[in-house]
């Protein structure tokens, strides 16, 4: 069954899509992992990606020496349909903490930078930090969307950026945040 597409907008040459689904099944050039700083696997998205990619993925991430919060590193995708995995390390939530907000925006921006540097034109993101790391989806969604939108406004390399959201509630929260941003910037964000 195809993934239900919930919301789609266009910014310059790129579409940004919200889809309810499983990130391990995506066929974009890259998928982004909600990794932890060790890059040695974990639960949630991380566990699902490592299971689907096979043990060669862990063999490669072991060579990377970890990753700082707010940063990202790239590997091959092995048994995944996606050619690359970008391992982004989001922050553990702390209320009213601007550093944590900046780190969440940074992990999306660094993932986009790494993708562009590797010729990736289509990419799928999960909702980073909103599982085990406790970031409320209502707070994370506008930060995630704005970081990606700011990037595609300034760079021409992307055709498609998808947010693959794990359940209906998360998807609706992202759809609401994207609709708000589209209202604020009607000349830039075209709702399709």
Q: Which of 149, 153, 159 is nearest to 121 (CA)?
A: 159
**27-47 burial: b if 16+ Cβ within 10 Å, else e:** ebbbbbbbbbeebebbebbbe
Residue whose entry in the numeric block shows the structure tokens 């060579």: 63
Distance CA 10, CA 167 (A): 23
Q: Which of residues 40, 64, 105, 132 is near ligand ADP by CB under 6 A?
A: 132
Q: Using CA atoms, how far apart are residues 34 and 86, in angstroms rounded to an integer?
A: 9
Q: Is position 44 an interface residue for ligand ADP (rule: CB under 6 A)?
A: yes
For ligand ADP, give the closer residue by CB, 46 or 71. Answer: 46
Is residue 61 part of the contact set for ligand ADP (CB under 6 A)?
Answer: no
Say whether residue 85 binds ligand ADP (CB under 6 A): no
If the CB atoms of residues 23 and 115 are measured against ligand ADP, the closer one turns out to be 23
By CB under 6 A, the count of residues binding ligand ADP is 20
Using the contact rule CB under 6 A, the part of the chain among 5-13, 94-102, 125-133, 184-192 near ligand ADP is 125-133
- Residue 70 as a binder of ligand ADP (CB under 6 A): the answer is no
Look up residue 187 and give its two tokens.
């000349």
Contacts of 93 (CB under 8 A, 6+ apart): 100, 129, 133, 134, 135, 136
Choice between 49 and 189, CB closer to ligand ADP: 49
- With beta carbons less than 8 A apart as the criterion, state whether 21 and 125 touch: no
170/182 with CB nearer ligand ADP? 170
Under rule CB under 6 A, residue 172 binds ligand ADP: no
Contacts to ligand ADP by CB under 6 A? 22-24, 34, 44-46, 48, 90, 126-133, 164, 166, 170
């Amino acid at each position: 069954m195809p993934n239900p597409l919930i919301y789609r907008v266009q910014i310059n040459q790129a579409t940004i899509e919200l889809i309810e689904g499983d990130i391990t099944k995506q066929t974009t050039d890259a998928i982004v992992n909600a990794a932890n700083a060790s890059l040695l696997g974990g639960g949630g998205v991380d566990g699902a990606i490592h299971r689907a990619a096979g043990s060669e993925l862990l063999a490669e991430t072991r060579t990377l020496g970890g990753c700082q919060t707010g940063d990202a590193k790239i590997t091959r995708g092995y048994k995944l349909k996606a050619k690359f995995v970008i391992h982004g390390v989001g922050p553990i939530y702390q209320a009213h903490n601007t550093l944590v907000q900046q780190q969440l925006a940074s992990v999306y921006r660094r993932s986009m930078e790494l993708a562009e540097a590797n010729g990736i034109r289509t990419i799928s993101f999960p909702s980073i930090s909103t599982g085990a790391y406790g970031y409320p989806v209502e707070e994370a969604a506008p930060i995630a969307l704005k970081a990606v939108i700011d990037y595609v406004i300034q760079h021409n390399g992307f055709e498609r950026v998808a947010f693959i959201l794990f359940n209906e509630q998360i998807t609706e929260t992202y759809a609401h945040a994207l609709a708000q941003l589209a209202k604020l910037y009607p000349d830039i964000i075209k709702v399709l």
